[in-house]
Amino acid sequence: MGAEAGQPLVPVAEGSTTAPLRIVHLADTPGRGGIHTVIEALQQSQAATGRHSVQCTGPGVGALRRYRADVILLHAASRWQRLPWLVCLRLLNPRARLILHEHHYTADAEQRAPSRVRLHALLRASYRLVDAVVAVSRAQGDWLRERRLLPDNRLHVIPPCRDLAGFRQVALPDFGRPLVLGAYGRLHRQKGFDLLIDALRRLAPGSVYLLIGGSGPEEAALRRRAAELPCVEFTGALDDVPAFLARCDIVVVPSRYEPYGLVCLEARAAGRPVVVSAVDGLPEQLADCGLAVPPGDSVALAGALESLVKQPLPFWAVNARISTLGAWTRYQAAWQSLLLNKAKENLIMSSFGAELSQDPESSSC
């Protein structure tokens, strides 16, 4: 796909004129999901937007081409088979700044990878081919630094965000009985919905009601897993997330790994206390508004859910919403700063190249 969006609000000097930044996003596949929510947020951003074009690289390495771009944002996961493609992308687009938005690899990847050494070698090779890497959480950024996978001056930490106005309009919950739990997103093993269903089996009947929103490859298996639990309802794909959150008292994010977790941000903006896995970028989102449990542990998750009736839920709800104030503004400002700095690098490199081409001594050996 190649849809353009956004207004040309970021001027970049080109000679004596001004022009908007030309930004190309390269993603693995089209469709929904956290990555595409991030791309849409960047397109909608009134501080960081330019002329955006979203391109799908396909399931493989994608077609190689030259882009009319000042900045190319890579949202695809690093793969060994993709390295030659990345080299060619760099060579075909020498004037574009390449930024890798690291949605995929975290400290947890070391546990899942067959070889930690090979994983680190892959990431170092990939990061050397780009001008900057954007980590999506402090935890991810700390891991990249600790493993020395790239120089500090090319690493930027920008937690994802989106326009949260619609989420803040959701009324705060009244925490009736049974408590209504909400969990939503891509129905994939990573997200841990199976753990949540298993945790519910350990709770007293009638104590909670669970809404599961979304679709994905695990939907049929999850429906079978919950077939004997009358307290579980699948709502299907979500077109209106704030409306879904309005039905929930508390949101559960039981992911096995989660670089950041936009679901948690949205829930907090809606004033929903959260129960999250203590993994990657999720714990850093807790601002006295919920609980963190060990990842992959349905017993610990059940214990946390059972304790909710004893927690200061109305206090958590207010804190949750307050914790998101200014997030959208900070996000736009951070991306504006990064994109404009990369645009300035383009101008410097272009000016330097023009001077060399006009210098008769520049071609001598």
Does residue 364 surpass a pLDDT of 50?
A: no
Average pLDDT, the chain: 87
Quickly list H helices, the chain.
34-44, 83-92, 107-112, 116-128, 138-146, 165-168, 193-200, 219-225, 241-246, 262-269, 298-306, 313-322, 327-358
How much is the pTM? 0.86
Does residue 200 surpass a pLDDT of 70?
A: yes
**Which residue has better confidence, 124 or 36?**
124
For residue 230, the tally of other CB atoms under 10 A from its CB is 10
Mean of pLDDT values over 140-169: 96
Confidence of residue 262 (pLDDT cuts 50, 70, 90): very high
Tokens linked to 75:
């949202």
Does residue 323 surpass a pLDDT of 80?
A: yes
Mean of pLDDT values over 40-64: 64
Report the candidate in 275, 305, 269 with the shortest Cα–Cα distance to residue 291.
275
Question: Domains in the chain, ordered, with CATH?
Answer: 4-163+327-347 (3.40.50.2000), 165-322 (3.40.50.2000)
Report the candidate in 186, 261, 250 with the shortest Cα–Cα distance to residue 222.
186
According to the model, what pLDDT value does residue 32 have?
Answer: 60
According to the model, what pLDDT value does residue 136 have?
Answer: 96
- Of the listed ranges 22-26, 84-88, 304-308, the one predicted with least confidence: 22-26
% of the chain exceeding 70 in pLDDT: 84
According to the model, what pLDDT value does residue 34 have?
Answer: 75
Any idea what DSSP says for residue 205? Answer: T
Confidence of residue 345 (pLDDT cuts 50, 70, 90): confident
According to the model, what pLDDT value does residue 279 have?
Answer: 95
Q: For residue 180, what is the enclosing H or E element?
A: strand 179-184
According to the model, what pLDDT value does residue 5 have?
Answer: 35
> Residue 253 and residue 199: Cα distance in Å, rounded?
13
19 CB-near residues (< 8 Å, 6+ apart): 8, 11, 12
According to the model, what pLDDT value does residue 169 have?
Answer: 97
> Residue 286 and residue 268: Cα distance in Å, rounded?
9
Using one digit for the tens of pLDDT, what is the confidence trace for 78-125? 999 999 999 999 999 999 999 999 999 999 999 889 999 999 999 999
According to the model, what pLDDT value does residue 36 have?
Answer: 80
According to the model, what pLDDT value does residue 347 have?
Answer: 58
Does residue 162 surpass a pLDDT of 70?
A: yes
Mean of pLDDT values over 20-42: 79
- φ and ψ at 129, to 5 degrees? -90, 0
According to the model, what pLDDT value does residue 28 have?
Answer: 78
Does residue 6 surpass a pLDDT of 50?
A: no
Any idea what DSSP says for residue 283? Answer: G
Does residue 152 surpass a pLDDT of 90?
A: yes
196 CB-near residues (< 8 Å, 6+ apart): 181, 183, 210, 212, 252, 254, 298, 301
Strand-pair category, 71-74 with 11-14: unpaired
Does residue 281 surpass a pLDDT of 90?
A: yes
> Residue 216 and residue 218: Cα distance in Å, rounded?
6
**Which residue has better confidence, 363 or 79?**
79
According to the model, what pLDDT value does residue 55 have?
Answer: 67
According to the model, what pLDDT value does residue 296 have?
Answer: 96
Mean of pLDDT values over 143-167: 96
According to the model, what pLDDT value does residue 29 have?
Answer: 67
Does residue 48 surpass a pLDDT of 70?
A: no
203 CB-near residues (< 8 Å, 6+ apart): 302, 305, 306
Does residue 153 surpass a pLDDT of 90?
A: yes
**Which residue has better confidence, 181 or 15?**
181
**Which residue has better confidence, 47 or 118?**
118
Q: For residue 157, what is the enclosing H or E element?
A: strand 155-157
According to the model, what pLDDT value does residue 54 have?
Answer: 67
According to the model, what pLDDT value does residue 38 have?
Answer: 84
**Which residue has better confidence, 123 or 358?**
123
Asked if 362 and 356 count as a contact pair (C-beta separation under 8 A), the reply is yes
